[in-house]
Amino acid sequence: MKTLIEFINEEQAHIPNASGEFTRLLNDITIAAKIVNREINKAGLGDIMGYEGKQNIQGEDQKKLDVFANEQFIEALKHGGQCCAIASEENDELITFSNKLSNNGKYVVAMDPLDGSSNIEVNVSIGTIFSIFKRKSEPGKPGTNEDLLQPGNQLVAAGYVIYGSSTMLVYSTGHGVNGFTLDTSVGLFLMSHPNMKIPEGGNIYSINEANYIYFPEGVKEYLRYCREDDPKTNRPYITRYIGSLVADFHRNLIRGGIYMYPGIRKNPNGKLRLLYENVPVAFLAEQAGGKASDGFRRILDIQPEELHQRTPFFVGSKHMVEKAEYFMKYYSKEFAPEK
Ligand code: AHM
Ligand code: MG
Protein backbone atom coordinates (compact mmCIF):
# COMPACT_ATOMS: atom_id res chain seq x y z
CA MET A 1 0.00 0.00 0.00
CA LYS A 2 1.13 3.51 -0.75
CA THR A 3 2.13 5.61 2.21
CA LEU A 4 0.98 9.20 2.58
CA ILE A 5 4.51 10.52 2.14
CA GLU A 6 5.04 8.48 -1.04
CA PHE A 7 1.77 9.88 -2.37
CA ILE A 8 2.65 13.49 -1.50
CA ASN A 9 6.06 13.08 -3.13
CA GLU A 10 4.44 11.75 -6.29
CA GLU A 11 1.95 14.64 -6.33
CA GLN A 12 4.71 17.20 -5.83
CA ALA A 13 6.84 15.67 -8.60
CA HIS A 14 4.28 17.03 -11.11
CA ILE A 15 4.78 20.59 -9.85
CA PRO A 16 7.65 22.38 -11.59
CA ASN A 17 10.26 23.80 -9.19
CA ALA A 18 8.61 22.22 -6.13
CA SER A 19 11.14 22.62 -3.35
CA GLY A 20 9.84 19.93 -1.02
CA GLU A 21 8.76 22.50 1.57
CA PHE A 22 5.08 21.69 1.21
CA THR A 23 5.83 17.97 1.59
CA ARG A 24 7.68 18.72 4.82
CA LEU A 25 4.81 20.87 6.08
CA LEU A 26 2.29 18.08 5.57
CA ASN A 27 4.70 15.64 7.13
CA ASP A 28 4.90 17.88 10.22
CA ILE A 29 1.10 17.87 10.45
CA THR A 30 1.05 14.07 10.35
CA ILE A 31 3.68 13.83 13.10
CA ALA A 32 1.54 15.96 15.42
CA ALA A 33 -1.58 14.01 14.40
CA LYS A 34 0.05 10.73 15.41
CA ILE A 35 1.00 12.10 18.82
CA VAL A 36 -2.49 13.51 19.36
CA ASN A 37 -3.97 10.19 18.24
CA ARG A 38 -1.89 8.35 20.82
CA GLU A 39 -3.12 10.60 23.62
CA ILE A 40 -6.76 10.44 22.48
CA ASN A 41 -6.60 6.64 22.46
CA LYS A 42 -5.66 6.56 26.10
CA ALA A 43 -7.82 9.50 27.13
CA GLY A 44 -9.85 7.49 29.63
CA LEU A 45 -6.75 6.27 31.47
CA GLY A 46 -4.93 9.38 32.59
CA ASP A 47 -5.77 12.79 33.83
CA ILE A 48 -5.92 14.29 30.35
CA MET A 49 -9.69 14.64 30.14
CA GLY A 50 -11.57 17.39 31.88
CA TYR A 51 -11.12 21.11 31.87
CA GLU A 52 -7.91 23.05 31.73
CA GLY A 53 -9.55 25.85 33.67
CA LYS A 54 -9.11 28.37 30.86
CA GLN A 55 -11.42 29.69 28.20
CA ASN A 56 -10.70 30.32 24.51
CA ILE A 57 -11.62 33.49 22.63
CA GLN A 58 -15.22 32.33 22.14
CA GLY A 59 -15.63 31.94 25.92
CA GLU A 60 -15.69 28.14 25.72
CA ASP A 61 -14.00 25.96 28.30
CA GLN A 62 -10.85 24.41 26.95
CA LYS A 63 -10.34 20.76 27.67
CA LYS A 64 -6.90 19.45 28.44
CA LEU A 65 -6.77 17.50 25.21
CA ASP A 66 -7.63 20.63 23.21
CA VAL A 67 -4.70 22.38 24.79
CA PHE A 68 -2.43 19.38 24.29
CA ALA A 69 -3.40 19.03 20.62
CA ASN A 70 -2.93 22.74 20.06
CA GLU A 71 0.58 22.60 21.53
CA GLN A 72 1.54 19.56 19.45
CA PHE A 73 0.53 21.10 16.14
CA ILE A 74 2.15 24.44 16.97
CA GLU A 75 5.40 22.75 18.03
CA ALA A 76 5.50 20.51 14.95
CA LEU A 77 4.91 23.44 12.62
CA LYS A 78 7.41 25.61 14.46
CA HIS A 79 10.18 23.03 14.33
CA GLY A 80 9.42 22.17 10.71
CA GLY A 81 10.15 25.78 9.73
CA GLN A 82 7.87 25.86 6.63
CA CYS A 83 5.08 27.83 8.32
CA CYS A 84 5.47 31.50 9.29
CA ALA A 85 2.14 31.94 11.15
CA ILE A 86 -0.75 29.93 12.53
CA ALA A 87 -4.34 30.90 13.31
CA SER A 88 -5.74 28.43 15.82
CA GLU A 89 -9.18 28.12 17.32
CA GLU A 90 -7.50 27.95 20.71
CA ASN A 91 -5.49 31.20 20.40
CA ASP A 92 -7.00 34.67 20.31
CA GLU A 93 -4.10 36.12 18.37
CA LEU A 94 -2.09 34.95 15.42
CA ILE A 95 0.80 32.68 16.44
CA THR A 96 4.17 33.74 15.01
CA PHE A 97 7.70 32.56 15.69
CA SER A 98 10.95 34.25 16.51
CA ASN A 99 13.21 31.80 14.68
CA LYS A 100 14.71 32.69 11.28
CA LEU A 101 13.73 29.40 9.66
CA SER A 102 10.02 29.89 10.38
CA ASN A 103 10.14 33.54 9.36
CA ASN A 104 11.39 32.40 5.96
CA GLY A 105 8.57 29.83 5.74
CA LYS A 106 6.35 30.15 2.67
CA TYR A 107 3.13 28.93 4.24
CA VAL A 108 0.51 29.86 6.83
CA VAL A 109 -1.86 27.44 8.52
CA ALA A 110 -5.33 27.93 10.03
CA MET A 111 -6.40 25.07 12.26
CA ASP A 112 -8.86 23.72 14.72
CA PRO A 113 -6.55 21.35 16.59
CA LEU A 114 -9.31 19.33 18.22
CA ASP A 115 -12.79 19.90 16.89
CA GLY A 116 -15.84 18.40 18.57
CA SER A 117 -13.94 18.15 21.83
CA SER A 118 -17.16 18.02 23.88
CA ASN A 119 -17.29 14.42 22.62
CA ILE A 120 -13.98 13.32 24.14
CA GLU A 121 -15.25 11.86 27.37
CA VAL A 122 -18.00 9.88 25.64
CA ASN A 123 -15.59 8.21 23.21
CA VAL A 124 -17.10 9.70 20.08
CA SER A 125 -15.04 10.64 17.02
CA ILE A 126 -13.30 14.00 17.04
CA GLY A 127 -11.00 15.65 14.54
CA THR A 128 -8.29 18.10 13.57
CA ILE A 129 -9.09 20.46 10.69
CA PHE A 130 -6.54 22.54 8.76
CA SER A 131 -6.23 25.03 5.90
CA ILE A 132 -2.89 25.82 4.24
CA PHE A 133 -2.28 29.04 2.30
CA LYS A 134 0.82 30.61 0.78
CA ARG A 135 1.88 33.72 2.66
CA LYS A 136 1.32 37.07 0.97
CA SER A 137 3.90 39.06 2.91
CA GLU A 138 7.61 39.03 2.09
CA PRO A 139 9.57 36.16 3.67
CA GLY A 140 12.13 36.97 6.34
CA LYS A 141 9.61 38.35 8.82
CA PRO A 142 6.87 36.77 10.92
CA GLY A 143 3.58 36.13 9.11
CA THR A 144 0.74 38.64 9.49
CA ASN A 145 -3.03 38.52 9.86
CA GLU A 146 -3.31 39.49 6.17
CA ASP A 147 -1.47 36.28 5.27
CA LEU A 148 -4.31 34.33 6.87
CA LEU A 149 -7.19 36.50 5.73
CA GLN A 150 -7.47 34.86 2.32
CA PRO A 151 -10.60 33.37 0.77
CA GLY A 152 -10.80 29.60 0.41
CA ASN A 153 -10.33 29.86 -3.36
CA GLN A 154 -6.68 30.65 -2.59
CA LEU A 155 -6.04 27.46 -0.61
CA VAL A 156 -2.97 25.41 -1.37
CA ALA A 157 -4.33 22.44 0.55
CA ALA A 158 -6.78 21.51 3.28
CA GLY A 159 -7.75 18.45 5.21
CA TYR A 160 -8.80 16.82 8.41
CA VAL A 161 -7.76 14.02 10.66
CA ILE A 162 -10.60 11.96 12.10
CA TYR A 163 -9.83 10.14 15.32
CA GLY A 164 -12.50 7.47 15.07
CA SER A 165 -12.80 3.72 15.09
CA SER A 166 -9.69 4.09 12.98
CA THR A 167 -7.70 7.28 12.49
CA MET A 168 -7.73 8.77 9.02
CA LEU A 169 -6.23 11.76 7.28
CA VAL A 170 -8.35 13.09 4.43
CA TYR A 171 -6.79 15.88 2.39
CA SER A 172 -6.71 17.64 -0.95
CA THR A 173 -4.27 19.87 -2.80
CA GLY A 174 -6.94 20.77 -5.35
CA HIS A 175 -6.61 17.57 -7.39
CA GLY A 176 -9.32 15.46 -5.78
CA VAL A 177 -9.58 14.06 -2.27
CA ASN A 178 -7.63 11.13 -0.89
CA GLY A 179 -7.97 9.34 2.44
CA PHE A 180 -5.22 7.60 4.38
CA THR A 181 -5.74 5.32 7.37
CA LEU A 182 -3.23 5.21 10.20
CA ASP A 183 -1.76 1.74 10.61
CA THR A 184 -0.79 2.00 14.26
CA SER A 185 1.36 -1.15 14.10
CA VAL A 186 3.85 0.61 11.80
CA GLY A 187 2.93 4.24 12.59
CA LEU A 188 2.21 5.14 8.96
CA PHE A 189 -0.75 6.66 7.17
CA LEU A 190 -1.55 4.29 4.26
CA MET A 191 -3.74 5.14 1.29
CA SER A 192 -7.10 3.48 1.91
CA HIS A 193 -9.61 5.78 0.16
CA PRO A 194 -8.21 6.99 -3.19
CA ASN A 195 -10.09 9.66 -5.15
CA MET A 196 -13.03 10.07 -2.77
CA LYS A 197 -16.31 11.24 -4.34
CA ILE A 198 -19.41 12.38 -2.49
CA PRO A 199 -22.68 11.07 -3.99
CA GLU A 200 -24.49 13.89 -5.85
CA GLY A 201 -27.67 13.15 -3.92
CA GLY A 202 -28.08 11.57 -0.53
CA ASN A 203 -30.60 10.86 2.16
CA ILE A 204 -28.87 11.87 5.40
CA TYR A 205 -29.34 15.28 6.98
CA SER A 206 -27.30 16.43 9.96
CA ILE A 207 -28.32 19.40 12.05
CA ASN A 208 -28.83 20.19 15.73
CA GLU A 209 -32.61 20.12 15.65
CA ALA A 210 -32.89 21.28 19.26
CA ASN A 211 -32.40 24.76 17.81
CA TYR A 212 -35.43 24.32 15.53
CA ILE A 213 -37.50 27.19 16.86
CA TYR A 214 -34.65 29.60 16.17
CA PHE A 215 -33.94 28.40 12.62
CA PRO A 216 -34.61 30.66 9.62
CA GLU A 217 -37.83 29.78 7.76
CA GLY A 218 -35.72 28.50 4.85
CA VAL A 219 -34.13 25.83 7.07
CA LYS A 220 -37.49 24.93 8.63
CA GLU A 221 -38.99 24.49 5.16
CA TYR A 222 -36.03 22.42 4.01
CA LEU A 223 -36.41 20.18 7.08
CA ARG A 224 -40.09 19.80 6.30
CA TYR A 225 -39.08 18.73 2.77
CA CYS A 226 -36.55 16.21 4.19
CA ARG A 227 -39.26 14.61 6.34
CA GLU A 228 -41.93 14.41 3.65
CA ASP A 229 -43.08 11.01 2.47
CA ASP A 230 -42.02 10.55 -1.15
CA PRO A 231 -40.48 7.14 -1.85
CA LYS A 232 -39.55 8.23 -5.41
CA THR A 233 -37.02 10.69 -3.98
CA ASN A 234 -36.05 8.46 -1.08
CA ARG A 235 -37.87 10.63 1.46
CA PRO A 236 -38.30 10.83 4.34
CA TYR A 237 -34.52 11.11 4.65
CA ILE A 238 -32.74 9.91 7.74
CA THR A 239 -31.21 12.14 10.36
CA ARG A 240 -27.76 11.57 11.84
CA TYR A 241 -26.04 14.11 14.08
CA ILE A 242 -22.92 13.43 16.11
CA GLY A 243 -22.13 17.03 17.00
CA SER A 244 -18.61 16.64 15.71
CA LEU A 245 -18.21 18.36 12.34
CA VAL A 246 -15.42 16.11 11.08
CA ALA A 247 -17.31 12.93 11.94
CA ASP A 248 -20.63 14.20 10.58
CA PHE A 249 -19.00 15.40 7.37
CA HIS A 250 -16.89 12.25 6.95
CA ARG A 251 -19.98 10.05 7.13
CA ASN A 252 -21.87 12.24 4.68
CA LEU A 253 -18.84 12.33 2.34
CA ILE A 254 -18.90 8.56 2.09
CA ARG A 255 -22.65 7.95 2.16
CA GLY A 256 -24.11 11.17 0.72
CA GLY A 257 -25.80 13.77 2.89
CA ILE A 258 -25.93 17.36 4.07
CA TYR A 259 -24.54 18.97 7.23
CA MET A 260 -26.06 22.28 8.30
CA TYR A 261 -25.20 24.84 10.96
CA PRO A 262 -27.36 27.81 10.00
CA GLY A 263 -27.40 31.31 11.39
CA ILE A 264 -30.27 32.29 13.63
CA ARG A 265 -31.75 35.73 14.19
CA LYS A 266 -29.82 36.47 17.39
CA ASN A 267 -26.71 34.83 15.95
CA PRO A 268 -26.90 35.31 12.16
CA ASN A 269 -23.43 33.90 11.50
CA GLY A 270 -24.07 30.58 13.20
CA LYS A 271 -21.40 28.84 15.23
CA LEU A 272 -18.71 27.46 12.97
CA ARG A 273 -15.58 29.38 12.13
CA LEU A 274 -14.83 30.26 8.52
CA LEU A 275 -11.06 29.88 8.26
CA TYR A 276 -10.44 26.61 10.05
CA GLU A 277 -13.80 24.82 10.04
CA ASN A 278 -15.93 25.87 7.08
CA VAL A 279 -13.27 26.66 4.46
CA PRO A 280 -11.26 23.41 4.71
CA VAL A 281 -14.39 21.24 4.85
CA ALA A 282 -15.91 23.20 1.94
CA PHE A 283 -12.73 22.69 -0.10
CA LEU A 284 -12.84 18.93 0.48
CA ALA A 285 -16.55 18.83 -0.35
CA GLU A 286 -16.01 20.62 -3.65
CA GLN A 287 -12.97 18.55 -4.51
CA ALA A 288 -15.08 15.43 -3.95
CA GLY A 289 -17.85 16.77 -6.24
CA GLY A 290 -20.05 18.27 -3.51
CA LYS A 291 -20.99 21.81 -2.58
CA ALA A 292 -20.66 24.22 0.35
CA SER A 293 -22.39 27.51 0.97
CA ASP A 294 -23.55 29.90 3.65
CA GLY A 295 -27.06 29.49 2.23
CA PHE A 296 -26.45 32.11 -0.44
CA ARG A 297 -22.76 32.31 -1.32
CA ARG A 298 -20.03 29.81 -2.09
CA ILE A 299 -18.04 29.43 1.12
CA LEU A 300 -14.73 29.45 -0.78
CA ASP A 301 -15.46 32.90 -2.23
CA ILE A 302 -16.04 34.64 1.10
CA GLN A 303 -13.33 37.14 1.94
CA PRO A 304 -12.55 36.70 5.66
CA GLU A 305 -12.23 39.85 7.71
CA GLU A 306 -11.26 38.33 11.05
CA LEU A 307 -9.34 35.24 12.07
CA HIS A 308 -12.19 33.82 14.14
CA GLN A 309 -15.05 34.92 11.90
CA ARG A 310 -18.12 32.66 11.78
CA THR A 311 -20.46 31.89 8.89
CA PRO A 312 -23.57 29.77 8.46
CA PHE A 313 -22.66 26.45 6.88
CA PHE A 314 -24.42 24.09 4.48
CA VAL A 315 -22.13 21.38 3.11
CA GLY A 316 -22.38 18.00 1.45
CA SER A 317 -24.00 16.36 -1.57
CA LYS A 318 -24.45 18.84 -4.40
CA HIS A 319 -28.16 18.33 -4.97
CA MET A 320 -28.98 18.48 -1.27
CA VAL A 321 -27.07 21.73 -0.72
CA GLU A 322 -28.71 23.23 -3.81
CA LYS A 323 -32.12 22.33 -2.43
CA ALA A 324 -31.33 23.90 0.95
CA GLU A 325 -30.09 27.04 -0.83
CA TYR A 326 -33.31 27.18 -2.81
CA PHE A 327 -35.36 27.20 0.40
CA MET A 328 -33.08 29.80 1.98
CA LYS A 329 -33.39 32.12 -1.02
CA TYR A 330 -37.14 31.70 -1.15
CA TYR A 331 -38.07 31.88 2.54
CA SER A 332 -35.14 33.59 4.27
CA LYS A 333 -34.08 36.51 2.10
CA GLU A 334 -33.46 38.55 5.23
CA PHE A 335 -30.44 36.31 5.97
CA ALA A 336 -28.86 37.04 2.59
CA PRO A 337 -25.55 38.87 3.04
CA GLU A 338 -25.42 42.47 1.87
CA LYS A 339 -23.73 42.72 -1.50
P1 AHM B 1 -15.87 23.19 18.79
O2 AHM B 1 -14.90 23.73 17.80
O3 AHM B 1 -15.95 24.01 20.03
O4 AHM B 1 -15.65 21.73 19.06
O5 AHM B 1 -17.32 23.39 18.12
C6 AHM B 1 -17.54 22.95 16.83
C7 AHM B 1 -18.50 21.79 16.89
C8 AHM B 1 -18.61 21.04 15.60
O9 AHM B 1 -17.70 19.99 15.51
C10 AHM B 1 -20.00 20.52 15.70
O11 AHM B 1 -20.50 20.17 14.46
C12 AHM B 1 -20.74 21.64 16.36
O13 AHM B 1 -19.78 22.33 17.13
C14 AHM B 1 -21.82 21.16 17.25
O15 AHM B 1 -22.47 22.22 17.82
P16 AHM B 1 -23.83 22.02 18.65
O17 AHM B 1 -23.44 21.33 19.91
O18 AHM B 1 -24.33 23.41 18.85
O19 AHM B 1 -24.74 21.21 17.79
MG1 MG C 1 -14.06 23.55 16.32
Residue 122 burial by Cβ neighbours in a 10 Å radius (0-12, 13-18, 19+) = exposed
DSSP state, residue 159: E
Phi first, then psi, for residue 311 (nearest 5°) are: -145, 155
The pLDDT assigned to 19 comes to 80
Ligand 1 pocket mutation pick from 244, 271, 274, 315 by most atoms within 8 angstroms of CB: 271
The residue whose CA has the least distance to atom 6 of ligand 1 is: 116
Res. 266 pLDDT band, cuts 50 70 90:
confident
**Does residue 135 share a domain with residue 95?**
yes
Domain annotation covers residue 198: no
* Residue that is last in its domain, among 170, 193, 216: 193
The side-by-side arrangement of strands in the sheet containing 157-163 is 95-96, 83-88, 107-115, 126-134, 157-163, 167-172, 178-183, 188-193
CATH label of the domain that carries residue 175: 3.30.540.10
The pLDDT assigned to 62 comes to 55
The Cα–Cα gap between 290 and 198 comes to 6
**Over residues 247-268, mean pLDDT:** 95
**Does residue 45 share a domain with residue 121?**
yes
**Does residue 153 share a domain with residue 264?**
no
* Residue that is last in its domain, among 193, 226, 242: 193
**Over residues 238-261, mean pLDDT:** 98
The pLDDT assigned to 49 comes to 54
Strand partners, 129: 112, 160
Q: Distances in Å between the alpha carbon of 71 and those of 34, 91, 92?
A: 13, 11, 14
- Radius of gyration of the CA atoms of the chain, in A: 19
The reported pTM is 0.94
- Per residue in 124-165, pLDDT tens? 999 999 999 999 999 999 999 999 999 999 999 999 999 999
Q: Which residues, by Cβ under 5 Å, contact ligand 2, an ion?
A: 112, 115
CA–centroid distance, 246 to ligand 1, in Å, is 10
- Per residue in 271-323, pLDDT tens? 999 999 999 999 999 999 999 999 999 999 999 999 999 999 999 999 999 99
DSSP state, residue 276: I
CA–centroid distance, 291 to ligand 2, in Å, is 20
Q: Which residues line ligand 1 (CB under 6 A)?
A: 60, 89, 112, 115-117, 208, 243-245, 248, 271
- Ligand 1 atom nearest the C-alpha of 118 is 4
Instruction: Using alpha carbons, select from 95, 242, 239, 82 the residue that is nearest to residue 163.
Output: 242
Ligand 1 pocket mutation pick from 122, 245, 276 by most atoms within 8 angstroms of CB: 245
Q: What is the mean pLDDT of the chain?
A: 93
The Cα–Cα gap between 171 and 30 comes to 11
**Does residue 173 share a domain with residue 142?**
yes
Least confident of 20-24, 83-87, 200-204: 20-24
Count other Cβ atoms within 10 Å, centred on residue 166: 12
**Does residue 245 share a domain with residue 117?**
no
DSSP state, residue 290: -
CA–centroid distance, 180 to ligand 1, in Å, is 24
**Does residue 233 share a domain with residue 185?**
no
Q: Under a CB-based contact definition with an 8 Å cutoff, are residues 316 and 293 in contact?
A: no
**Does residue 107 share a domain with residue 136?**
yes
The residue whose CA has the least distance to atom 12 of ligand 1 is: 243
The Cα–Cα gap between 330 and 296 comes to 11
Least confident of 19-33, 39-53, 230-244, 255-269: 39-53
Which domain range does residue 262 map to? 204-335
pLDDT at 240 over 90: yes
Res. 18 pLDDT band, cuts 50 70 90:
confident
- Ligand 1 atom nearest the C-alpha of 210 is 19
